[in-house]
Amino acid sequence: MSTTTASAAAGAAPVAKKAAKPPNPARIRRRRRLAQWGFIAPAVVFMALFFGYPLVRNIVMSFQDYSPSTFFTGESPFNGTDNWSNVFNDELFGKALWHTILFTIGSLIGQFCIGLGLAVFFSRRFPLNGILRSLILLPWLVPMVVSGVVWRRILDQDTGVLNSFLGTIGAGGDTPWLTSTSMALISVILVNIWIGIPFNMVILYGGLQEVPKELYEAASLDGASAWRTFRSITLPMLRPVITVVLVLGFMSTVKILDLILALTDGGPADSTQTLGTLTYQNSFVQLDFGAGAVVGNILILISAVFAVFYLRANRNEGK
């Protein structure tokens, strides 16, 4: 048995091992399996610690009383469903939920439609196509906080370039993009659409390349219009990819924190507060981790529903 250990560990001295001892198939197989698990075990442990544990811990925390003093005394007594009822009775929760829905749906529609349009456009053959297509990825690669900060400057009511541009062409130019309660959420959505376009475009473009060319040839022989071809061939053939794009877009949008903090810090007057920022506010600003955990759990619940869609779509992708 020491021989198998040696071969698993160092891979040396291979010839001698077979003759050394009478083979014990069951034991060898067990050894072998153990060595194989050695490859997978670190990842399993890591994911248990960094994903499994937080999931469980959040549920427990949502029934515990955390206050700023908890971190000195170390005491966080259980308080039943107090956190849950506090959160649900706070009108900010309803607001944040509503903002999350608007933010997510608005972002998804914008990102997807423009992304799809660009994907179709870039499927044409023209000079510089490849270079332009890859440079468009930049906004998606830049840290989100940085994008937020840059847009904060652009959208500044008095000195921002957007308003001065709109003023020049005579289209207003005095919009309080980030400072009015009615505009702030719209502005945040617009910026997030800008961030999401490249991602949507790349995946949809990839999907478009998989559509068999013959279908388009047949359609053009039949004299189908461009719109008809798009509706009857492109869209149906893209369906699996579209599902994946939308679900992934949903998962990443619903939890966004960086962008909103950089643009508005959740303000003005909580008009851009979402479930993500509310979790952060509760836990790390007010140091009420119990309340933060409640909102976090709701966020997980929403994500879980869509995770089911994702896995369905993923399975349909085949293997």
Partner 1 sequence: MASTVRTPAAPTRPTGRPKRRWGAMVFGILVLCVMLFPLYWMVNTALQPESGLLEVSPVPHGLDLSGFRSALSDQGGNLLTSLAVALGAVAICLAISAPAAYGLAQFKLRGTRTIVFGTLITQMVPGIVIANALYSAYVDLGLVNSYAGLMLADASLGIPFAIVLMRSFMVAIPREVIEAAEVDGAGRFRTFVRVVLPMSRNSLITAGLFSFLYAWSDFMFALTLNTTDDVKPITLGIYQYIGAHVGDWGSVMAASVLSAIPAAVLLVLSQKYIAAGITGGSVK
Instruction: Give residues 234-293 in contact with partner 1 (rule: CB under 8 A).
Output: 241, 244-245, 248, 251, 254-255, 257-258, 261-262, 276, 279-280, 283-284, 289, 292-293
Which residue has tokens 């949903």?
A: 250
Helix axes 184-210, 144-154, angle to 10 degrees: 130
Which residue has tokens 């007594």?
A: 77
The Cα–Cα gap between 173 and 158 comes to: 9
Q: What is the closest distance, in whole angstroms, from the C-beta atom of residue 314 to partner 1 in the complex? A: 7
Check binding of 63 to partner 1 (CB under 8 A).
no
Q: What is the closest distance, in whole angstroms, from the C-beta atom of residue 269 to partner 1 in the complex? A: 19
Say which residues have a Cβ less than 8 Å from residue 163's Cβ, sequence separation at least 6: 155, 156, 157, 172, 173, 174, 175, 177
Check binding of 18 to partner 1 (CB under 8 A).
no
**Number of CB atoms found within 10 A of residue 266's CB:** 25
Query: Is residue 221 exposed (0-12), middle (13-18) or buried (19+ Cβ within 10 Å)?
Result: exposed
Which residues is 64 bridged to in the sheet? Answer: 78
Q: 25 vs 182, which CB is nearer to partner 1?
A: 25
Stretch that binds partner 1, among 19-27, 82-90, 92-100, 298-306 (CB under 8 A): 298-306
Q: What is the closest distance, in whole angstroms, from the C-beta atom of residue 12 to partner 1 in the complex? A: 8
Segment 170 to 199, residues that bind partner 1, using CB under 8 A: 194, 197-199
Which residues is 78 bridged to in the sheet? Answer: 64
User: By the 8 A CB rule, do 281 and 288 touch?
Assistant: no
Q: 44 vs 105, which CB is nearer to partner 1?
A: 44
Q: What is the closest distance, in whole angstroms, from the C-beta atom of residue 264 to partner 1 in the complex? A: 11
Among 29, 30, 53, 235, binds partner 1 (CB under 8 A): 53
Among 105, 113, 142, 269, binds partner 1 (CB under 8 A): 142
The CA distances from residue 266 to 69, 199, 263, 285, in Å, are 26, 25, 8, 12
Check binding of 224 to partner 1 (CB under 8 A).
no
Segment 78 to 137, residues that bind partner 1, using CB under 8 A: 118, 121-130, 132-137
Number of residues that bind partner 1 (CB under 8 A): 111
CA atoms 151, 155, 158, 162: torsion sign: positive
Among 20, 71, 105, 181, binds partner 1 (CB under 8 A): 71
Check binding of 47 to partner 1 (CB under 8 A).
yes
Q: What is the closest distance, in whole angstroms, from the C-beta atom of residue 248 to partner 1 in the complex? A: 5
